[in-house]
Amino acid sequence: MEVYQNSYNASLKVMNEIIPKLPEIEKNDLRSQISRSCKAIPRLIAEGYAKKHQKKGFQKYLDDSMGESNEMIVNLSHCKDIYNRSIDVNLCNELIDVYDKPTRQLYNLSKAWTNFKEKGNLTSQPLNDTGSLM
């Protein structure tokens, strides 16, 4: 799924290019939170996808990954606004855009999944990467 690939690639950029540039004082706060959030998104998507046969299981993971993606937007905004001397602001803006797209994709997928499961038909039509029925 495109949403998985985008969030996974963004997590690599965050881990390799943002976190190492945060000051040591942020070790137990912003640095730790960013590390957990950026890695949680693709993990939640993968775990949720494995449980797509469950009516509520998949929805929960979509909602959780959407929340983590929104949190990453706030975390990256903090990075660029507080640590603009050590953090690449352009990279933060690029990553904010990257995380905004999965948030919208996850929302659309969640909405489509809700409509799909309300019809009680979980297996007849698969969903594509944007959350639309194929």
What's the pLDDT at 74?
97
What's the pLDDT at 134?
47
Check residues 133 and 25 and name the one with the higher pLDDT.
25
Please give the average per-residue pLDDT across 103-118, as a whole number: 72
User: Which residue ranges form the domains of the chain, and what is each CATH number?
Assistant: 2-118 (1.20.1440.60)
State pLDDT tens for residues 27-72.
899 999 999 999 999 999 899 888 877 767 778 888 899 899 999 9
What's the pLDDT at 114?
67
State the burial class of residue 56 (Cβ atoms within 10 Å of its Cβ: 0-12, 13-18, 19+).
Answer: exposed
Give DSSP secondary structure letters for 68-132: HHHHHHHHHHHHHHH-TTTS-HHHHHHHHHHHHHHHHHHHHHHHHHHHHHHTT-SSSS-B-TTS-
State pLDDT tens for residues 78-88.
999 999 999 99
What's the pLDDT at 133?
46
Check residues 24 and 104 and name the one with the higher pLDDT.
24
Please give the average per-residue pLDDT across 23-27, as a whole number: 92
With a CB cutoff of 8 Å and minimum separation 6, the contacts of 94 are none
Check residues 39 and 133 and name the one with the higher pLDDT.
39
Check residues 129 and 40 and name the one with the higher pLDDT.
40
What's the pLDDT at 3?
85
The first and second tokens of residue 118, run together, are 């309300």
